Amino acid sequence: MPDKLKKGETTKSHRSSNDFRIRTPDKTRSSEIKEKAAKAAISRRISNGLPGLDWSISEDVVGKNRQLATTGVYFCCPSISNEVLTKREWKEKIRNHLKAQLSRDRGKSAALMIHTLNADRVLVNSCVETICTYLNNLISSPDEPKFRKIRKDNKVFSCKVLPLEGALEFLYAAGFEMKTFLIDDKKEAFLVFDDKKYDKKHLQDLVDELKLTEPIHLQVHRDTTILLADQAINKVELPEDFYNRTTEDLRREQARREENLNLSLQLRTKAMRERQEDREKRKYKYSLIRVRFPDNTFLQGTFGVNETLRSVREFVKDKLSKNGNFTLVNSLGRTLSETDDNKTLFDLKLLPAVLLTFIWGQGTPPQNYLKSRYLRKIKQ
């Protein structure tokens, strides 16, 4: 348990329990020798060739992992390719992929574009609802002329449909075509339904497709990193990708904090503190988690704040050299039990930079806790 504050002492002098900068006793010569010995032992085991060591891991891959750890959050998308890219790069890649698929299945590809390439879910839902209304009108009243033509400058169409990527392509897949008419000596653009393309079943299938399509989801790349104790003790400067705010937002927030410093030192009720903590947590989209093993090696990975503790536990389990039961303990000494597994990192306050301690269960622990191919990646 953390020490109680002395009279007149402020919380500013105490680091967060989730801070990577760990307070340790003054280093003695003995502890330095032990540290060097542990480091040398791991180096010897690696150089001698550990059983099952995957020597196919190239230095280029290791080097890339080092770079990723310092530049931001990266993602993978197995349904598209095995690459590791930024969110912006993935959006462009997915856009190009779906455009290339339009010639094969225009309706499905356009539906995926609508749901994947447009970030605002409220706007997406509004667009889907509007397009479905257009198509349902054609299905129920195929001979009604007003349902076969949509003015491009129509307020509903221009606000709810036209701005969203993939929306026009979807209407083209249904049988609409963009045409220009001269009205009162002025050219006006309309989407006009081609009578020859009317197919009630096809239209109903498109409505179902648009309603049921799920966006292509990106997975947070774990950027697995192995550290030694002298590296892990350093405090990490989180990249801007971790925050829900822009750089300018952060500047304003810092200015506000400085202005309200005196207020922050005043006594607050429990409810006020909880509200403040909740606001602080919502600043972050990702969490950098380090797991400390008994041999003073550290496993590090990146997670979304809405991922569950189970994801962390499985991440650790996958890296172990030997199957066995283990527990994870947070920096306040609380054991994270299996009942916590379905809770999110946000709910458990495991953000934005967290240190967990690994404790081996019953039985003889392995000589090396981590698989040899991960020890090979120890950051130099």
- For residues 174 and 34, which has the higher predicted lDDT (pLDDT)? 174
Q: Is the pLDDT of residue 165 over 90?
A: yes
Q: Please calculate the CA angle 214-215-221 and round it to the nearest 5 degrees.
A: 125
By DSSP bridging, strand 186-193 and strand 176-183 are antiparallel
Q: How far is CA 179 from CA 72, 132, 133, 145, 303, in A?
A: 46, 21, 21, 16, 48
One-letter amino acid for residue 264 of the chain: S
Residue 284 banded pLDDT, cuts 50, 70, 90: confident
What SS3 state is found at 298? strand
Q: Which fold has domain 81-212?
A: Methane Monooxygenase Hydroxylase; Chain G, domain 1 (1.20.58)
Of 318, 312, 315, 319, the C-alpha closest to 343 is: 312
- The pLDDT confidence band at residue 132, using thresholds 50, 70 and 90, is very high
Within 13 Å, how many C-alpha atoms sit on residue 133's CB side? 12
Residue burial 87-125, b: 16+ Cβ < 10 Å; e: rest: eeebbeebeebbeeebeeebbbbbbbbbbbbbeeeebbe
pLDDT confidence bin for 362, thresholds 50/70/90: confident
* Rounded Cα–Cα distance for residues 182 and 184 (Å): 7
Q: In the numeric block, which tokens belong to residue 311?
A: 């994801």
Output the pLDDT for position 319.
94
Query: Across-strand partners of 75?
Result: 85, 220
Contact 272, 337 (CB under 8 A): no
The predicted model scores a pTM of 0.66
The residue among 17 and 326 whose pLDDT is bigger is 326
User: Which percentage of the chain shows pLDDT scores above 90?
Assistant: 54
- pLDDT score at 183: 83
Indicate the class that CATH gives domain 11-71+222-244+284-375: alpha beta
Q: What mean pLDDT do residues 51-69 have? A: 32
| Sole residue written with tokens 């962390």 | 312
Mean pLDDT value of segment 82-101: 94
Beta strands in the chain (DSSP E): 75-77, 81-85, 149-151, 176-183, 186-193, 219-220, 225-228, 286-292, 297-304, 326-329, 335-336, 353-360
Q: Which residue has the higher pLDDT, 245 or 202?
A: 202
CA distance linking residue 49 with residue 373, whole number of Å: 10
Q: Is residue 167 packed enough to be buried (19+ CB in 10 Å), middle (13-18) or exposed (0-12)?
A: buried
Mean predicted lDDT score pLDDT of the chain = 79
Tell me what pLDDT residue 65 has: 37
- What pLDDT, in 10s, does the model give residues 305-356? 999 999 999 999 999 999 999 999 998 999 999 999 999 999 999 988 899 9
Among 353, 345, 229, CA closest to 292: 229
Find the range with the poorest average confidence among 19-28, 35-44, 69-78, 187-196: 19-28
pLDDT band at 32 (very low <50, low <70, confident <90, very high): low
Q: What is the pLDDT of residue 378?
A: 77
Task: Between 12 and 295, name the one with better pLDDT.
Answer: 295
* Least confident piece of the model among 49-58, 179-188, 317-326: 49-58
- Cα atoms in the 13 Å half-sphere on the side-chain side of 377: 24
Location of each CATH 3.10.20.90 domain in the chain: 11-71+222-244+284-375
Query: Distance between CA 291 and CA 312 in Å, rounded?
Result: 10
State yes or no: pLDDT of 160 exceeds 90.
Answer: yes
- Residue 254 is predicted with a pLDDT of 66
Decide if pLDDT at 246 tops 60.
no
Token pair listed for 324: 């066995």
272 pLDDT band, cuts 50/70/90, is: low
> Which residue in this structure is represented by tokens 């030192």?
265
Q: What is the DSSP letter of 3?
A: P
pLDDT of the residue at 63? 35
Q: Is 265's pLDDT higher than 80?
A: no
Q: Give CATH 1.20.58.2190 domain extents, the chain.
A: 81-212
Helix (H, G, I), strand (E, B) or coil at 81: strand
- Specify the amino acid at residue 10: T
Backbone angles phi, psi at 307, to 5 degrees: -75, 160
What is the predicted pLDDT for the residue at 377? 74
Only one residue has tokens 């006009």, namely 192
The helix/strand/coil state of 254 is: helix
